Amino acid sequence: MYKLLVDAVDTVLALKPLVANANHCEVVIAPVFTALKTVADRLEGSNIGVAGQNCSTEPAEGAHTGEVAATMLRDVGAKYVIVGHSERRQLYFETDSMINKKCQAAITAGLAVILCVGESLEQREQGTAERVVSGQLSGGLSGLTASDLDRIIIAYEPVWAIGTGRTATPEQAQEMHAFIRRVFADRYSDQAANELRILYGGSVKPDNIAGLMSQKDIDGALVGGASLQAESFAKIVNYGRQ
């Protein structure tokens, strides 16, 4: 929940030229709902996509005051939506069942889904991290078909490494990413697992992105605080290419 409209526009206008030549990856930003339409309009024709930070469990308009449907996100220019972010799970008590409904609503609306999973520090210390993440994947993806996977991106965000200054080591992140890929192989197919994109999200910064991206099963990053400034986000996007 950052940036008033003018600040959001200033940030994307600064970002556009900094990542204009970033043809090695997809660049996506997720402004607040009130800035989505204006930001999407400013980015039209660029290589930067727009995501909603969340969407309703309801697939279409109706008597759900305060909610934003996935169809409405698509209508104002979003092509992606973040679902199940750790803050939504922790602060707003979103369950796997709710998150699954959001995934289904988003896919029906034609959006790509960035589904977030991850364990708390307590769960990691108890040795249940893989069980927790596996349960979040099973719950969030329930009822989705193999063809739906084309629009699913997984973001692994260890809760203990978000906004704390702590970062999972590249090796710790790789271990969980490889596990997630195995879950997909078992649940769907080897092909689905190989084609799946898995992002790492947990205090990603310009000075640790190269180490994270050197790992076999880390395909990208879900960037938090470091994305609030165009220059720092651009350094992450263009790591190793400056």
Cα–Cα nearest to 168, from 132, 136, 131, 208: 208
pTM of the model: 0.96
| pLDDT tens-digit series, residues 146-157 | 899 999 999 999
pLDDT of residue 240: 86
Residue 84 tokens read as 């199940």
pLDDT of residue 116: 98
What is the full per-residue pLDDT of the chain (242 aa) written as tens digits?
999 999 999 999 999 999 999 999 999 999 999 999 999 999 999 999 999 999 999 999 999 999 999 999 999 999 999 999 999 999 999 999 999 999 999 999 999 999 999 999 899 989 999 999 999 999 999 999 989 999 999 999 999 887 666 778 999 999 999 999 999 999 999 999 999 999 999 889 999 999 999 999 999 999 999 999 999 999 999 998 86
| pLDDT tens-digit series, residues 29-44 | 999 999 999 999 999 9
Catalytic annotation on 85? yes
Which H, E and C letters describe the chain, residue by residue? CCCCHHHHHHHHHHHHHHCCCCCCCCEEECCCHHHHHHHHHHCCCCCEEEEECCCCCCCCCCCCCCCCCHHHHHHCCCCEEEECCHHHHHHCCCCHHHHHHHHHHHHHCCCEEEEEECCCHHHHHCCCHHHHHHHHHHHHHCCCCHHHHHHEEEEECCHHHCCCCCCCCHHHHHHHHHHHHHHHHHHCCHHHHHHCCEEECCCCCCCCHHHHHCCCCCCEECCCHHHCCHHHHHHHHCCCCC
Q: How far apart are CA 94 and CA 159, in angstroms?
A: 15
**Complete domains list, the chain, with CATH:** 5-237 (3.20.20.70)
pLDDT of residue 161: 82
Of 87, 157, 175, 177, which residue is the catalytic one? 157
Give the dihedral sign, CA 123/129/132/136.
Answer: positive
Catalytic annotation on 61? no
Of 85, 94, 119, 177, which residue is the catalytic one? 85
Q: How far apart are CA 6 and CA 51, in angstroms?
A: 18
